Amino acid sequence: MAGSFGAESTGDEVLEGWDLGGKRALVTGVSAGLGVETARVLTAHGAKVVGTARDLAKARDATAGIANLELLEMDLASLASVRACADALLAKGDMFDLVILNAGVMACPEGKTADGFETQFGTNHLGHFVFANRIAPMLNPGARIVSVSSLAHRFSDISLDDPGFAQTPYDPWIAYGRSKTANILFAVEMDRRLRDRDIRAVAIHPGGIQTELSRHLSPEIIKSLQQRSAAPSSGSQMRVKTVPQGIATAIWAGVAADAGEVGGLYCEDCHVAVVNDVPEQREGMRSYALDPEQARALWAKSEELVGERF
């Protein structure tokens, strides 16, 4: 059922013929964009979905009409909120077959989370790091964790010595790139830790999609992103996907693809991405994002920062 899919495939096309009845999924960030469409497609194919959102009222409006969807409040920029949400799920005891770590912020002004972390690293990585680890006991054998990263991981490796830009000037795109590289390294190490339980983790790039994630982007910043992302010699511009196309890779990696072929890797356009360290190109992944030693080091640093060992 894996099929042959690509950049223009939609989530519905990936799941054509699939019956997810009896399966339970969890999706973070279901108040807009990709999160809402992901919840819609999964439930349309029979799954029961738990969705998290910082703003529950907004999420209820955005998901009105989606059946078999339960909403829970979680603000990834507050570890107290993350832990409270995870504790509520653990108390209920329902198991999951798929977790899609979708929520996040992008290229926002310099700021701090409730716990004092740089906003993008704290929200995109550390919030999901704590949440996914806390609910890991609730994953069934055969379950998958999908960490939503970005081509922006190509902008920067992580910085274990200066994760909060205390020693270097803040750059919103470097900060975003660091957090997206962290999303991939998290999947690499989580996959290593859970594969003995027949649970796999994978990172994906959804593609360039115009959603609320880009709310901080002025026309000048968007132009800057295009310049960073495109090869100067080609004059190419970023290809913008629709929201239904934007969820396809997460659905493919989380459901349709062979787990052994995607576990611990990074996928784009419904296929496993190749390593590509050419700076001027945007296809493929940087080799530093798959480095197992770097993944272990990030894990240890993350535990140190959040004050919790997993």
Q: Give the residue from 43, 86, 39, 85 showing the smallest Cα distance to 62.
A: 39
Choosing from 156, 176, 266, 302, which is the catalytic residue? 176
- Distance of alpha carbon 85 from alpha carbon 251, whole angstroms: 24
- Which of these is catalytic: 149, 156, 229, 302? 149
Calpha distance 1→194 (Å, rounded): 25
Active site residue 149: yes
Task: Give the span between the Cα atoms of 11 and 9, in whole angstroms.
Answer: 7
d(CA 50, CA 30): 9
* Tokens 């989530």 belong to residue: 11
Q: Which of the following is catalytic: 31, 81, 159, 180? A: 180
User: Which one-letter amino acid corresponds to residue 145?
Assistant: I
- The 8-class DSSP code of residue 298 comes to H
- Whole-angstrom Cα distance, residue 120 to residue 17? 38
Tell me if residue 287 is catalytic.
no
CA distance 265 to 292: 11
Between CA 149 and CA 135 the distance in angstroms is 20
Confirm whether 92 is a catalytic residue.
no
Q: Catalytic positions, please?
A: 149, 176, 180
